Amino acid sequence: MYELSKLPNIGKTLETQLVQVGIETTQQLKQIGSKQAWLSIKAIDPSACYNRLCALEGAIQGVRWYYLSDDTKKELKEFYNNLK
């Protein structure tokens, strides 16, 4: 179907959500960035959480979300907390 599920952290459900918000390729995900992609998903799924944000950033960086640097995790956590 789409190539997104080949990225780390992106399963079929998250891939489906990304496609629903108009992100169909790895390049599009990298261009829009994890924060904007997450905001778009949050608009259609209010349950979108911090872990999903980290999953998106990890996919962009090509690593499992738990391998993100502490600085990146902190930045994402601040972003997430500011929108709660």
Per-residue pLDDT of the chain (84 residues; tens, 9 = 90+): 579 999 999 999 999 999 999 999 999 999 999 999 999 999 999 999 999 999 999 999 999 999 999 999 999 999 999 997
Q: Which tokens go with 26?
A: 């790895």
Taking the C-alpha atoms of residue 36 and residue 28, their distance in angstroms, rounded to an integer, is: 11
CA angle (26 as vertex; 63, 28 as ends), nearest 5: 130
Q: Name the pTM for this structure.
A: 0.95
Give pLDDT, residue 84: 77
**Sequence ranges of the domains in the chain:** 4-82
CATH architecture classification, 4-82: Orthogonal Bundle (1.10)
Give the rounded distance of the alpha carbon of 7 from its chain centre: 11
Write the single-letter amino acid at 83.
Answer: L
Q: Which tokens go with 49?
A: 């959480």
Instruction: Quick: pLDDT tens for 19-32.
Output: 999 999 999 999 99
